[in-house]
Amino acid sequence: MYNIMLVEDSIEIRTELSNVLIKEGYKVTALTEFINLPELILSTQPNLLLLDINLPGVDGFTLCTEIRRSSNVPIIFVTSRNSEIDELMSITLGGDDFITKPYNIAVLLARIAALLKRAYSQTASGDVVKHGGVELHLLSSRMEYDSKSIELTKNELKILHYLMIKKGTIVSRSDIIEHLWDSEMFVDDNTLSVNITRIRNKLESLGITNYIQTKRGQGYMV
């Protein structure tokens, strides 16, 4: 059962959403206190976060930034703020979706289901993707090899995951960029190179060399 956390200061909206989500078969964690939120959210480890922007003490943008430093939990901003800059900031800072209030509850449920499917479809038999002795733990953003483990950043996890599900085939740099960010507007070619280098360094720290092969002029392959 997926655990959805509500970070919403309106008691009325929080109660309505909780009741609807529980009826849909989700476990719900509805926060009622708004102090030490990053620590509280990370320790709870929900499967998805519904996050308001206007919160007492800290705004949703700041909170999203804090969470993204160490977690890939799917985040949907649900907010009364409806400007294009609000939506742009939400996605740029690491949000996965943006819905404005008042929302259509059926649409919100569909967005939640779709995001959960995208986030966890590779984890039907767990959260682990394996190839060549490397285990990629998607929910905890870790890579394991020979009983040793190392944490990955969000981008490192996405890049390595994409290469692993395409194992045995050459994946072009443009395909990786497009897959990760949907548009090359959000990243340049150098950023991808930096992330590939960091992944290789982490692989080598686990004792793995030449795991990500460079195919000159074509891309990468594992």
Cis peptide before 74 (omega within 30 of 0): no
**Is 38 a residue whose pLDDT tops 70?**
yes
Higher-pLDDT residue of 124 and 28 is 28
**Which of 149, 178, 170 has its CA nearest to residue 215?**
170
- Give the integer Cα–Cα distance in Å for 38 and 156: 21
Q: What is the pLDDT of residue 184?
A: 44
**Is 98 a residue whose pLDDT tops 90?**
yes
Check if the beta carbon of residue 211 is closer than 8 Å to that of residue 205.
Answer: no
pTM here is: 0.57
Q: Which residues contact 9 (CB under 8 A, 6 or more apart)?
A: 34, 52, 54, 55, 56
Q: What is the pLDDT of residue 17?
A: 94
β-partners of residue 171 are 220
Percent of the chain having pLDDT more than 90?
Answer: 54
Q: What mean pLDDT do residues 93-110 have? A: 93
**Which of 182, 160, 186, 181 has its CA nearest to residue 171?**
160
Ordered alpha helix ranges (H), the chain:
11-23, 37-44, 60-68, 84-92, 105-120, 154-165, 173-181, 189-205
**Is 1 a residue whose pLDDT tops 90?**
no
Q: What mean pLDDT do residues 158-182 have? A: 83
12 SS3 class: helix
Q: What is the pLDDT of residue 204?
A: 95
Question: In terms of C-beta distances under 8 Å and separation of at least 24 residues, what long-range contacts does 188-196 make, across chains too?
Answer: 192/159, 195/153, 195/155, 195/156, 195/159, 196/159, 196/220
Domains of the chain: 3-120 (3.40.50.2300), 128-221 (1.10.10.10)
